[in-house]
Amino acid sequence: MEPRPAELEHTYLRLTRSLSCRVDEQDYVKIKPKIAALEELARVENRSISLYDINSKSFLLKTDRHMELLGYKNREIEVSRYHRMVHPDDLPFLYDSELQMYRYLEGRDDKMDYKLVYDYRVRATDGSYIRFLHQMAIFACDRDRHAWLMLVISDVLQQYPEELHPRRVLLNTKTQKVCLFDKEQELVTSREKEIVRLISQGLDSNQIADRLCISIHTVNNHRQNILAKTQTRHIAQAMYYLRCIGLL
C-alpha cells in the first residue's frame, strides 16, 4: 500500500529537519571557489543552478532563471513556499523521489557518484503549469561523509503535454546505469547515443542505417527504445532530455 500524500510530506519534513552536518567555518571557506565556479557556469549556460546547505537549511547559491518565467518577481522563494507551487498531483512524487534517494545513498561511500533526475510541474502566476527537469546530486560531504551540500540543476521542458506523468531515475554518473525506480540498466546504450547524435546532425533513418551498416528496421527499433527509456514522445524531446542530463 502506497503512503498517502500527507504521510509522505510528514516523513519528508521530519527527515529534512533532522539532518545535520559536521562542518565548521573552514569548510565554508574552502568551498567558496567551487561555489563561484558554479555561479559562472550558470551564467555561461543560462541555467538555473542552486546549492542547498543541509547544515544551515538555506541556499548558498541560487541562480534561479525560472522565477521570472513563472511570473514571480522575487527569486528568493523559500523551499516550503516553492513546494506549495508544485502541482498537487506531482508533490507526493517529489517527496517520494527525494526520500528514496536519501535512503538509497545513506551509508554509501560512493554517494557522490549518483544523481536524481526527475521532473514535475510548477504553477506560474497566471495559474498555468510549467514542467521542469531537475537534477539533484550531492556536491560536498561533511567530515563524517554525510551529505552536506546538495546541487540542483533545473531546465525547462517546454513542449511536454500537461498530462504527461512525471519521470524519475537515480543515475550512477560513472556507469550511466539506473539504480532506482527501474531495473538496473544503462539509461541509453552507446549505440543508442550514437544514433541520437547522428539524428542531431540531420541524418534520417535510411542514412543512419547506411552509415552504421545496419538495417533500417534496427535503426527504428533503436529509436523506439530511446523514446521508451527517456519516456518521451518524439526524438527531439529525447535529445533535449539526454543533453540536459549530460548523456550526449
Domain boundaries defined on the chain: 5-180, 190-244
Q: What is the pLDDT of residue 25?
A: 95
Q: What is the pLDDT of residue 184?
A: 65
Give the phi and the psi of residue 107 in degrees, each rounded to 5.
85, -5
Q: What is the pLDDT of residue 3?
A: 66
Nearest to 225 by CA among 198, 202, 191: 191
Alpha-carbon span 133 to 152, nearest angstrom:
10
Q: Model's pTM, two decimal places?
A: 0.87
Within a 10 A sphere around the Cβ of 242, how many other Cβ atoms?
22
CATH entry 3.30.450.20 includes domain 5-180: yes
CATH code of 190-244, in short, is: 1.10.10.10
Alpha-carbon span 118 to 98, nearest angstrom:
9
Strands 147-157, 114-123: pairing is unpaired
Strands 58-63, 168-172: pairing is unpaired
Q: What is the pLDDT of residue 2?
A: 57
State the residue for C-alpha cell 507551487: 85
Residues of the chain whose pLDDT is less than 50? none
Q: What is the pLDDT of residue 121?
A: 92
Q: What is the pLDDT of residue 214?
A: 94
Assess whether the region 5-180 and the region 190-244 belong to the same CATH fold: no
Q: What is the pLDDT of residue 67?
A: 80
Alpha-carbon span 83 to 122, nearest angstrom:
9
Q: What is the pLDDT of residue 181?
A: 80
Give the tens place of pLDDT for each residue, 146-175. 999 999 999 988 766 666 778 899 999 998
